[in-house]
Amino acid sequence: MPRIFDIIEAPDMGEREIVRRFPPSGSGDFRIGSQLIVREFQTAVFFRDGKALDTFGPGRHTITTANIPLLTSLIGVAFSGETPFKAEVYFVNMREFVDMKWGTPEPIAMRDAELGMVRLRAFGTYSMQVSDPQLFVNKIVGAQGLYDTSQIEGFLRSIVVSKFADFLGEAGKSLFDLPSLYDELSAGTKAKLQDDFSSLGIALKTFYVFSITPTEETAKAIDERAAMGAIGDMQKYLQFKAARAMGDMATQEGAGGGAAQMGLGLGAGAGMGAMMAGMISQAMQAGKTVTPTPAAGTKACPSCGAQIPVSAKFCPNCGAKQEAGGFCPQCGSPLPPGAKFCPNCGAKVG
C-alpha cells in the first residue's frame, strides 16, 4: 500500500541550496488534510501533473480544495478526505545568496584610445535572491529534485560576462583609467543585468567588479610604452630592452653559471642596444642635407663655397681672388703658403 504523506516539509535546507523537492524521488501520495509546513525563509510551490497549482508562504497550511481550488477539477471529490492523489511540492529558499563568483573564462577584447585593441580579464562577485519562485522552478529547476548555487553559477556567469563586456565597450574608457572606475562599472553592469535576471525569477541584489587585469601580451605593451615615456632617449631605451632580453635568456639557462652568463648578457645587451641605436640614428639622419665631399682636384671657394679647380686664382662663380696658399686637394682645407702637407688630413700637396 502506498505511503500517504500527512506532513510535507523541508526543514534542513543548506545555505547554498536553492530548491528542494518533496518527495525527493518525484510525485508522492497526498490527501486532503495533509499538512504543508513552510519555514520563514521558504516559499512552497504546489505541483500536480507537472502544473503549478499555487504557492504558499511561511506557516502551516492544510491542503484543501479551498486553498487549492484547482484540486477539485483535478482529483474530484475525495471520499472522506482519505482518497490519495499524486502531487509534489518544491520548497524554494528565499534567502539572499551572497558571494556568488563571476569572471571572464577567456580574455575579452576592448578598444583602447591609446593602446588600440587590448585583451583583459575581469573578476568580481554578486548576490542574488529568488524573486518569483514559480517562474524560477518552471524556467530553471524543471524536474530536478535538488538545485543549488553551483548548478546555476556557470549559466549566470555567461550572462554577466556578456553584459559586462557590452558596458565596458560602451563606456569607451582607457585601460589606464579602469582601476578608478570600478564603482561606475559595477553600477552600469548591474543595471544591464536586471532584466535578464528578472526573466528567470531572480533579483540581482548586489554586483561588484573587484579586478580588471590585462593579459600578458597587453601588459608587455603597457610596460614598453611606459619605458619609452620614462627613458625618452632612443639609445638608452634600446639598451634597456636588449639588456633585459639578454638577462631573461641568462635566467632561463638555469642556476649553473647563470649569474656569469647574465653579466655577459647585460654587457652584450648594452653593446647591442648602442649599435642598434646608432643604426637607427643614422637612418633618421638619412633625410637631412649633407655637405658633399669635394671631388679630387677641386676646392671650395672661401667666399661663396662653390667647387673650383685647385689651380684657380679667381673664383669663376663669384670672382673672389684665391689665396696663394691654396687648398688641400684631398679635404679642401685652406693651406698656408709654402705648405707641402695638409695640416688637416696630412695629404701631400707640394
Please compute the mean of the pLDDT values over residues 77-105 and round it to a whole number: 86
78 — pLDDT class (breaks 50, 70, 90): very low
User: Which range, 25-34, 72-81, 158-167, is most confident?
Assistant: 158-167
| Residue 261, φ and ψ in degrees, nearest 5 | -65, -35
71, 65 contact by CB (below 8 A): yes
Among the listed residues 211, 238, 226, 233, the one whose alpha carbon sits nearest the alpha carbon of residue 114: 226
Match 551572497 to its residue by C-alpha cell: 98
| pLDDT above 50 for 53 | yes
Which one is predicted more confidently, 254 or 185? Answer: 185
On the question of a cis peptide bond just before residue 133, with omega within 30 degrees of 0, the verdict is no
Examine the pLDDT at 8 and tell me if it is beyond 90.
Answer: yes
Q: Give the mean pLDDT of the chain.
A: 81
Residues with Cβ within 8 Å of residue 246, at least 6 apart in sequence: 262, 264, 265, 266, 268, 269, 272
User: Locate cell 475525495: which residue?
Assistant: 78
Q: Pinpoint the alpha helices (H) of the chain.
A: 70-75, 133-136, 149-171, 182-198, 216-231, 234-252, 258-285
- Name the band, by pLDDT with cuts 50, 70 and 90, for residue 269: very low
Of the ranges 138-147, 216-225, 252-261, 266-275, which is most confident?
138-147
CATH number of 97-215: 3.30.479.30
Q: Which three cell numbers stand for residue 146?
A: 535538488
Residues with Cβ within 8 Å of 46's Cβ and at least 6 positions away in sequence, in order, are: 36, 52, 53, 54, 55, 56, 63, 68, 87, 89
295-349 pLDDT per residue, tens: 556 777 777 878 887 677 778 788 777 665 667 777 777 776 667 778 788 777 7
- Grid cell 673650383 is found at 308
What length is written for the chain?
Answer: 350
Which pLDDT tens digit goes with each residue over 93-122? Answer: 999 999 999 999 999 999 887 778 889 999
Asked if residue 261 lies in contact with residue 250, where contact means CB atoms within 8 angstroms, the answer is yes
Domain-wise residue ranges, the chain: 7-93, 97-215, 232-280, 299-350
pLDDT digits (tens, 9 = 90+) for 337-350: 667 778 788 777 76
Q: Which helix (H) or strand (E) holds 22?
A: strand 17-22
Q: Give the C-alpha separation, 298 to 187, whole Å.
A: 80
Q: What global pTM score does this model have?
A: 0.63
The sign of the dihedral angle between the CA atoms of 166, 167, 171, 173 is: negative
What is the structure's pLDDT at 136? 98
What is the average per-residue pLDDT within 75-96?
79
